[in-house]
Amino acid sequence: MTQRQWFKLHGWCSLPIWVLFCFICITGTIAVFSHELTWLFNENARALNPNDLAPIAMSERVAAVKALYPSAHITTVMTFESYLTNAVMFSADSVPAGIAYVNQYTGQVQEVNQGITFINFMRSLHGWLLFPWQSSYSVGYYLVSAMSFVMMGALVSGLVIYKRFWRAYTQPKIRVKQG
């Protein structure tokens, strides 16, 4: 391939899909900080411990949820950083899928989410663009996964086009006369 053909390939791999790529990158960045953003905007996600108590046993956290929902079937208990509450995922007769925020120091259930949380929303938006699931697959999941091939194409074609690109880092030039 000629230099011009590599440049065209690089352009086709990079430019037409930059909006989707940037969207996936931005939602991924937000998803990384989703727990901290939840802590910032939702007071019930904060595990306050003013009396400097030790964390209670996991069974007591589960018992706190079962006290509110006696028919609860606990599926998962997630622990995060010490400043975040624990998330107890469960299902009950009145709640098909719930997440209870349990303070690991006091054992108090601070909130019960029955819908999609900010964390789940951002991770779903990043992972499969919230495309509908049909027969156990989502077009969005494959679209996001296909971006890895496009990124690889942009990387390879960019390295072929911009030979010795590292010189821009090791020998920077200030071009004051070029506008």
Give tens-digit pLDDT for 150-172. Answer: 888 878 888 888 877 778 778 88
Q: Mean per-residue pLDDT for 41-67?
A: 94
Residue 75 has pLDDT above 80, yes or no: yes
What mean pLDDT is reported for the chain? 88
Name the residue with higher pLDDT: 2 or 65. 65
Determine the Cα–Cα distance for residues 30 and 46; give it in Å rounded to an integer: 19
Domain check: are 49 and 104 in the same one? yes
Residue 131 has pLDDT above 70, yes or no: yes
Domain check: are 135 and 156 in the same one? yes
Please report whether residue 142 resides in a domain: yes
Domain check: are 100 and 143 in the same one? no
Both tokens assigned to 58: 């996991």
| pLDDT tier for residue 15 given thresholds of 50, 70 and 90 | low
Domain check: are 17 and 77 in the same one? no
The boundaries of the domain holding residue 97 are 45-115
Q: Is 136 exposed, middle or buried (0-12, 13-18, 19+ CB in 10 A)?
A: exposed
Residue 108 is part of a domain; what is its CATH number? Answer: 3.10.450
Asked whether the beta carbons of 140 and 130 are under 8 A apart, the reply is yes
For tokens 């072929």, the residue is 160
| N residues, the chain | 179
Domain check: are 98 and 50 in the same one? yes
Please report whether residue 25 resides in a domain: yes
Helix, strand, coil percentages for the chain (3-state, nearest 5): 50, 15, 35
Name the residue with higher pLDDT: 99 or 148. 99
Domain check: are 59 and 111 in the same one? yes
Determine the Cα–Cα distance for residues 144 and 24; give it in Å rounded to an integer: 7
Please report whether residue 55 resides in a domain: yes
**Residue 3 contacts by C-beta under 8 Å, 6 or more apart in sequence?**
161
Please report whether residue 141 resides in a domain: yes
Determine the Cα–Cα distance for residues 152 and 51; give it in Å rounded to an integer: 52
pLDDT score recorded for residue 8: 82
| pLDDT tier for residue 179 given thresholds of 50, 70 and 90 | low
pTM equals: 0.71
pLDDT score recorded for residue 55: 95
Asked whether the beta carbons of 83 and 47 are under 8 A apart, the reply is yes
Per the structure, the count of domains in the chain is 2
Domain check: are 26 and 49 in the same one? no
Q: Mean per-residue pLDDT for 22-49?
A: 92
Please report whether residue 39 resides in a domain: no
Please report whether residue 95 resides in a domain: yes
Both tokens assigned to 32: 């990384």
Please report whether residue 90 resides in a domain: yes
DSSP 8-state symbol, 45: G
